[in-house]
C-alpha cells in the first residue's frame, strides 16, 4: 500500500524509501511530475482523507501544506518534500514584522496595496486567484470586497489571514487549477520571481475565463530613475545584482529575482491571448520634476520609431506617465480575449 491515512495531529515518519516510480506516485497523489529543470518540483496534492506517500512529511494545521477538509472534520494535506525547501523560522518572523511592525493584523494598506485595491473596487466581484498570496493581507481585503479568493504560494507558512485554503506549489510549474477557473488573477510581486515569465503567463491564460482580468504588478525597473541608474552604473537594482533575497524558504525557486521590464510583460500577455487595457503604478506620476527633462527627451527620441519598433519595444506604454515617471511598482491590467 502506497499511502497511509492520518488522524488530526498525527505525524507520519516513513521507515521506507520513497517509491522508485515517482511519476506513478505523483499521479496517485493527484499531483504532477517535474516538467522543469529548475527546483523545486511541484508539491503533490493529496486527496480528501489525508492519504500521503511515504517519504513526504505532514505538518499540523497552520503550517506547511496542511488544510482543513471543506466538509469539516478530517484534514487533507498538501505535502512538501523533505529533501529541499525547509522554512527558516527566523526569516518568517522577520517577514511578519516587516509587514506589520506594530503587531496589528491586518496592517493598514500601504500605497502599493491601495493602488491595487482601487483597481479591484472598479470591477464586479468574482472568482479570484491571489498568486503568490504571501501573508494574505490582499486576499483578506479582496474577500471583504466580495471576491471569492483562492490562494497559492510556495511558502504557505507565511499565511496569517484566516479562513483560506492555500494551494502549495511553484509558479514555475503548472498551476493546480482547471481551465477557465477564475474571473481574476492577481499576481502581486510574483512575475519577476519566476525563471521564465512566458510559462507563468501561459498558465494564467489557461485558468482565466474569456473576458477575465489579470493584474500583474512588479518593481518598476523601467522608470526614469532606474534608466538613469543603468546609464551611469550599468545596473538597476542591488537585489538583482546580488541575488540576495528575503525569502523564508530555502529553495532556489523561492529566492530568484529577475529584472523584469514592461515590454516583456506586454509581449508575453499578447502572445497568450491577453490585451493590455491599462498601465498604472503605486505612485503619483511626475512627482520628481527634476527628472522631467529626461522623460521629455525619451519621448522625443521615440517619435522617430518605426511601426515595428513601437510594437517590439511597446513604446507607447513604456513611456506613459506611470511607467516612466510613476511609483516604485508598475501595475498592468490585461483582459483575456
- Per-residue confidence of the chain (337 residues) as pLDDT tens digits? 344 444 444 443 333 334 344 343 333 333 333 333 333 333 333 333 333 333 333 333 333 334 433 333 222 234 333 334 566 666 556 665 666 677 778 889 999 999 999 999 999 999 999 999 999 999 999 999 999 999 999 988 888 999 998 999 999 999 999 999 999 999 999 999 999 999 999 999 999 999 999 999 999 999 999 999 999 999 988 888 887 766 667 777 878 888 999 999 999 999 999 999 999 999 887 778 899 999 999 999 999 999 999 999 999 999 999 999 999 999 999 999 9
Which residue, 64, 84, 104, sits at the end of a domain? 84
Q: Could you give the CA distance from residue 246 to residue 90 in angstroms, rounded to a whole number?
A: 11
71 and 214 fall within a common domain: no
Helix spans in 276-314 (H): 292-302, 307-312
Instruction: Please say which residue of 43, 58, 84 terminates a domain.
Output: 84
Q: Are 248 and 158 in contact (CB under 8 A)?
A: yes
Q: pTM for the full model? A: 0.74
133 and 73, same domain (yes or no): no
Question: Domain end: 50, 84, 118, which one?
Answer: 84
Could you tell me if 115 and 264 lie in one domain? yes
Q: Which domain holds residue 129?
A: 92-336
Cβ pair 234, 240 in contact under 8 A: no
CA distances from 265 to 201, 218, 334 (A): 9, 10, 10
Query: Do 152 and 32 sit in the same domain of this protein?
Result: no
Q: Which residue has the cell 474569456?
A: 210
301 and 201 inside one domain: yes
- Say how far apart CA 50 and CA 73 lie, in whole Å: 11
Using the Cα atoms of residue 60, residue 61, residue 63 and residue 68 in order, give the sign of their dihedral: positive
Number of structural domains found in the chain: 2
d(C-alpha 175, C-alpha 304), whole Å: 42
Judgement on whether residues 265 and 284 belong to the same structural domain of the protein = yes
Amino acid at each position: 500500500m502506497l499511502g497511509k491515512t492520518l488522524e488530526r495531529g498525527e505525524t507520519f515518519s516513513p521507515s521506507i524509501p520513497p517509491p522508485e516510480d515517482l511519476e506513478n506516485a505523483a499521479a496517485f497523489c493527484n499531483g504532477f511530475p517535474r516538467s522543469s529543470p529548475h527546483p523545486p518540483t511541484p508539491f503533490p496534492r493529496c486527496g480528501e482523507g489525508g492519504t500521503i506517500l511515504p517519504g513526504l512529511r505532514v505538518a499540523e494545521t497552520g503550517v506547511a501544506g496542511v488544510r482543513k477538509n471543506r466538509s469539516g472534520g478530517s484534514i487533507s494535506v498538501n505535502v512538501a518534500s523533505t529533501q529541499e525547501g525547509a522554512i527558516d523560522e527566523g526569516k518568517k518572523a522577520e517577514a511578519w514584522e516587516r509587514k506589520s511592525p506594530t503587531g496589528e493584523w491586518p496592517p493598514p494598506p500601504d500605497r502599493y496595496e491601495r493602488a491595487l485595491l482601487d483597481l479591484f473596487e472598479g470591477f464586479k466581484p468574482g472568482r479570484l486567484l491571489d498568486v503568490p498570496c504571501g501573508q494574505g493581507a490582499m486576499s483578506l481585503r479582496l474577500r471583504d470586497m466580495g471576491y471569492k479568493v483562492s490562494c497559492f504560494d510556495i511558502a504557505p507558512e507565511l499565511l496569517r489571514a484566516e479562513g483560506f485554503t492555500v494551494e502549495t506549489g511553484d509558479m514555475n510549474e503548472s498551476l493546480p487549477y482547471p481551465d477557465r477557473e477564475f474571473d481574476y488573477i492577481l499576481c502581486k510581486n510574483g512575475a519577476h520571481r519566476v525563471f521564465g515569465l512566458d510559462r507563468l503567463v501561459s498558465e494564467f491564460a489557461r485558468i482565466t475565463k474569456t473576458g477575465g482580468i489579470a493584474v500583474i504588478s512588479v518593481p518598476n525597473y523601467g522608470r526614469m530613475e532606474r534608466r538613469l541608474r543603468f546609464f551611469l552604473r550599468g545596473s538597476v537594482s542591488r537585489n538583482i545584482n546580488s541575488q540576495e533575497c528575503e525569502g523564508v524558504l530555502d529553495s532556489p525557486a523561492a529566492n530568484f529575482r529577475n529584472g523584469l521590464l514592461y515590454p516583456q510583460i506586454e509581449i508575453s500577455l499578447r502572445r497568450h491571448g491577453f490585451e493590455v487595457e491599462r498601465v498604472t503604478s503605486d505612485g503619483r506620476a511626475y512627482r520628481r520634476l527634476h527628472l522631467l527633462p529626461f522623460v521629455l527627451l525619451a519621448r522625443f527620441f521615440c517619435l522617430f520609431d518605426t511601426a515595428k519598433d513601437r510594437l517590439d519595444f511597446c513604446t507607447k506604454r513604456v513611456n506613459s506617465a506611470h511607467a516612466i515617471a510613476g511609483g516604485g511598482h508598475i501595475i498592468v491590467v490585461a483582459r483575456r480575449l
